[in-house]
Amino acid sequence: MTRHYDHSDQHEHDLGLRHDMAVLSRRSALRGLFGAAGLATLGLAGCAATETGSTATTATTAAAGSTTASTGAATGAADCVAAAPGETAGPYPGDGSNGPNVLVESGVHRSDITTSFGTMSGTAEGVPMTVTMSLQDLTQACAPGAGMAVYLWQCDREGRYSLYSDGVTDQNYLRGVQTADAEGRVTFTSIFPGCYAGRWPHLHFEVYDTLAAAVAGENARLTSQIALPQDASEAVYAADSGYSASVTNLARVSLETDGIFSDGWDAQLPTVTGDPRAGYSLDITIGVASAEENAASGGAGGPGGGPGGGPMGARLPAD
């Protein structure tokens, strides 16, 4: 199938020998927001789908230096959530489908993704952020996705993607894989991402049934994105000069106009707590439908660009 783009620890394991990946033979990037009807198809009686909408996050914003809380779609583990929508992986996945394949590298299975690993060295600077994702297997009556694996990647505070963007092609930071514990949780230590031209601040992720599947870089159950709340983003960008270009870029985009989130973002908006000085904690529950359900939702986007190698303030296609 053709791969689509949109418009625009744990200790190290030697994972590089698991698979000789066939580049560009992977699944299409998917999108489609599942609601209550999707859950009914799965026979999940009694499971309440999260409400979708087009309004921004309800936020509690405190004075500078205090804690803020942005409430999104994250829910308690006992609640059954709607299926997360499939989204494009964008042009910089680093999974072998478009150039570099970080998934087969020794050391990719880790929780702290702020540093480069293997033969590369370097650290992504920025406001600290911990990302906790709780996975629900919607094919198993919303049971915790124990043993599933998540590949998470994102841009740095300058809006660059390691392995691809000018200045960081010799870095592989802000990329890593974690295996879900018995409660379906994975946790990453990262930094708050920048906002580059044309896109709302976001994180990319793929969910695989097993670690072996993840490090082989194929057969992802779900490819999607997480949106960062506006209040937290504004606070970070105003407090750290390293995010200076993000102030202007954020002012030029909204969740309503973003090419990915404009059709509904409730299932992709996490709860974020913290402040720029102490750092932030991001929590979100992800409903993982079957690969067939995701495929049926359809693909999205055309050949995409991204912040590539151009100036961060330049208008560039989104990913």
End-to-end CA distance of the chain: 19
pLDDT top residue among 82 and 69: 82
Q: Would the pLDDT of 15 be above 50?
A: no
Q: Would residue 95 count as lying in a domain?
A: yes
Q: Would the pLDDT of 73 be above 50?
A: no
Cα distances (angstroms) measured from residue 231 to each of 67, 236, 283: 12, 9, 16
CA gap 105, 91 in Å, rounded: 19
The tokens of 128 are what?
Answer: 């600290």
Residue showing tokens 């998917």: 30
220 within 8 A of 153, measured Cβ to Cβ: no
125 within 8 A of 164, measured Cβ to Cβ: no
**Per-residue model confidence as pLDDT tens digits over 239-253:** 999 999 999 999 999
**Per-residue model confidence as pLDDT tens digits over 267-276:** 999 999 999 9
The tokens of 247 are what?
Answer: 């102030």
- The pLDDT score that the predictor gives to residue 297 is 64
- The pLDDT score that the predictor gives to residue 295 is 74
> Would the CA dihedral through 262, 225, 303, 307 be positive or negative?
positive
Strand pairing class (58-60; 202-208): unpaired
Q: Would residue 30 count as lying in a domain?
A: no
Provide the H-helix boundaries in the chain. 36-41, 211-216, 230-239, 244-251, 291-296
The tokens of 61 are what?
Answer: 């914003």
CA gap 102, 29 in Å, rounded: 18
Strand partners, 271: 283
Q: Would residue 54 count as lying in a domain?
A: no
Which amino acid is it at 279? G
- Domain that includes residue 93, residue range: 36-49+68-296
The tokens of 83 are what?
Answer: 């299926």
- Predicted TM-score (pTM) of the model is 0.74
Read off the pLDDT of each residue in 94-123 and give the average, rounded to a whole number.
Answer: 96
Three-class SS state of 138: helix
- Reported as a pLDDT band with limits 50, 70 and 90, residue 134 is very high
39-48, 94-103, 296-305: least confidently modelled range: 39-48
179 within 8 A of 212, measured Cβ to Cβ: no
pLDDT top residue among 12 and 144: 144
Show Cβ contacts of residue 257 under 8 Å, excluding neighbours closer than 6 positions: none
Give CA 46 to chain center in angstroms: 28
Query: Treating both helix axes as pointing N-terminal to C-terminal, what angle do 230-239 and 244-251 enclose, rounded to 10 degrees?
Result: 150
Three-class SS state of 283: strand
> How many Cβ atoms are within 10 Å of 84's Cβ, its own excluded?
30
- The pLDDT score that the predictor gives to residue 312 is 38
- The pLDDT score that the predictor gives to residue 296 is 72
Q: Would the pLDDT of 140 be above 60?
A: yes
Residues found in the chain: 319
Read off the pLDDT of each residue in 277-306 and give the average, rounded to a whole number.
Answer: 75
Q: Would the pLDDT of 213 be above 70?
A: yes
Q: Which of 173, 172, 178, 165 is nearest to 125 (CA)?
A: 173
Q: Would residue 15 count as lying in a domain?
A: no
Q: Would residue 216 count as lying in a domain?
A: yes
Identify the CATH number of the domain in which residue 269 sits: 2.60.130.10
Q: Would residue 282 count as lying in a domain?
A: yes
Report the chain's mean pLDDT, rounded to a whole number.
77
Q: Would residue 29 count as lying in a domain?
A: no
Q: Would the pLDDT of 102 be above 70?
A: yes
Three-class SS state of 270: coil
Residue showing tokens 């270009």: 245
The tokens of 30 are what?
Answer: 């998917």
The tokens of 313 are what?
Answer: 């303030």
pLDDT top residue among 121 and 301: 121
- Reported as a pLDDT band with limits 50, 70 and 90, residue 57 is very low
| Number of domain units in the chain | 1
Q: Would the pLDDT of 182 be above 70?
A: yes
- The pLDDT score that the predictor gives to residue 290 is 93
Q: Would residue 202 count as lying in a domain?
A: yes
- The pLDDT score that the predictor gives to residue 261 is 97
